[in-house]
Structure 1
Amino acid sequence: MVDPVEAKRLAAQQMQEIRAREKLKRRRQAEAINGALAMIGLTAGLVIEGQTGKGILAQLAGYLAALSSLFGQ
């Protein structure tokens, strides 16, 4: 016969393990999405650099200048 207190303890321990695995899975998915978006952004920056001749930092400076003039008024 199984002790009810021990069964509850084991069930709680198993639930903690399941939650930890789910949390790790969500973290991995978030990292994969973040990496994919970073690669898309880098590719877009390189394409724009090829079209305009401005480097990525110059593009960012232009975007920041546009935003500051938009919100500065």
Structure 2
Amino acid sequence: MVDPLEAKQLAAKQMKEIQKKERLMKRRQIEAINGAWAMIGLTAGLVIEGHTGKSILEQLAGYWSAIAHFFVR
């Protein structure tokens, strides 16, 4: 027969392992989503660079300038 205390301890240990795996899977999913957004942003920056001739850094400087002027007025 199984000792109830021992069964609870085993169940708790197994639950911790399951939670660790779930956290790892969640982190991987978040990293994949983050990477996808980064690629979308880079692609958009390169497309805009092709159309306007402004580098990505110049684009960012323009965006920050516009945001600053919006709040500083």
Q: What TM-score do you get using the length of structure 1 for normalisation? A: 0.99
Measured after TM superposition, the shift of residue 63 of structure 1 is 0.2
Amino acid at match of 1:21: K
**CA offset at residue 16 of structure 1?**
0.2
Number of the residue aligned with 1:4: 4
Any gaps of 5 or more consecutive residues in structure 2?
none
The equivalent of 2:65 in structure 1 is 65
Moved over 4 A (4+): none
Give ranges in structure 1 of 5+ residues lacking alignment.
Answer: none
1:44 Cα deviation from its structure 2 partner: 0.1
Paired residues, what number?
Answer: 73
Separation of aligned partners in 2, 1:69 and 1:54: 20
Amino acid at match of 1:13: K
Identity, % of aligned pairs? 68
